[in-house]
Amino acid sequence: MQLFYDPAIAPPRHTLGEEESHHCIRVLRLGEGDELHATDGRGTLYRCRIAKADARCCEVEVVAAQPDFEPLPYRLTMAVAPTKNADRFEWFLEKATEVGVTAIVPLETERSERRVFKPQRGEKVITAAMKQSLKAYRPVLEPLTPLHELLAAPFRGRKFIAHCAEARTEAGKAYLPATFRPGEAALILIGPEGDFSPEEIDRALARGFEEITLGTQRLRTETAAVAATVMVAVANHRPNK
């Protein structure tokens, strides 16, 4: 299945944007009468037939619509400090989209090495990964958000902070796969290369965040973020006994 993305698509007929039209007609060499699939990124998968094969404005007729196509059985928000090397953060965006994530928040912290985040490239990476992995739900990419603002914002679900320091609570740091419960909503904080400061960890714990570990290995920021995303996905797809 070849998947196209257009957030404005709706029955009965729709004209794809210039980029998607070019890919459809010039790259894939589809023509009138050929079928393709498209999504609005909000969960609906459309089966379409090409009515006008134009590389600038390809017009399609919606043949069938399937709402709620393969939704995630959980809600996961990953708040991650962008890496100094932009390619590494884009790698995380791509892999998190493929594995399954609801929203991504670029996080500004005390020790952040990147304090400017341009979302245009990140949006393209997410769109490409969504299409390649045949998903009908497109993750939301939030603007760069200071940690103190995120800590103060309401969140309905469990909140976790992964850090490399010694545990700061009597309960200690729980191993994410062992504490996460399938089907629940989660917000996970991943810090910069220099980790969260002790003060940031304390503020997060005071706001109801649970401190967690991702294992005994020391991970780069982008690796830790992908590992956490995978752990949540695996916890939600355990086979029934």
82-118, pLDDT tens digit by residue?
999 999 999 999 999 999 999 999 999 999 988 888 8
Residue that has been written with the tokens 């990476």 in this structure: 125
Helix axes 86-99, 119-132, angle to 10 degrees: 30
Tokens 């959980």 correspond to 74
Q: Which residues make Cβ contacts (< 8 Å) with residue 151, sequence separation at least 6?
A: 203, 204, 207, 209
Q: Give the percent of the chain with pLDDT over 90.
A: 93
Instruction: List, in order of start, the domains of the chain with CATH numbers.
Output: 3-66 (2.40.240.20), 75-235 (3.40.1280.10)
Beta pairing partners, 162: 190, 212
Q: Which residues contact 5 (CB under 8 A, 6 or more apart)?
A: 20, 38, 39, 40, 41, 127, 130, 131, 138
Closest CA to 159 of 105, 234, 221, 120: 105
**DSSP secondary structure letters along 121-190:** HHHHHHHHHHHHTT-SBPPEEPPPEEHHHHHHS--SSEEEEE-SSPP-STT-PEEHHHH--TT-EEEEEE
Q: Quick check: 241 pLDDT over 50? A: no
Cβ-in-10-Å burial (0-12, 13-18, 19+) of 204 comes to buried
How far apart are the C-alpha atoms of 229 and 102, rounded to whole Å?
10
CB-based contacts of 11, cutoff 8 Å, min separation 6:
46, 62, 65
User: Which range is least confidently modeled, 73-82, 112-121, 160-169, 180-189?
Assistant: 112-121
The whole-angstrom separation of Cα 74 and Cα 48 is: 29
- Which residues on neighbouring strands pair with residue 9, listed in sequence order? none
Give pTM, 2 decimals.
Answer: 0.93
Please check whether residue 224 is in contact with residue 190, taking contact to mean a CB–CB distance below 8 angstroms.
Answer: yes
What pLDDT, on a 0 to 100 scale, did the predictor assign at position 113? Answer: 87
pLDDT digits (tens, 9 = 90+) for 117-140: 889 999 999 999 999 999 999 999
Res 26: pLDDT: 94
Residue 240 scores a pLDDT above 70: no
Q: How confident is the model over 24-38, as pLDDT tens digits? A: 999 999 999 999 999
CA distances (Å), origin 140, targets 15, 76, 89, 100? 24, 11, 15, 12
Amino acid at residue number 32: E
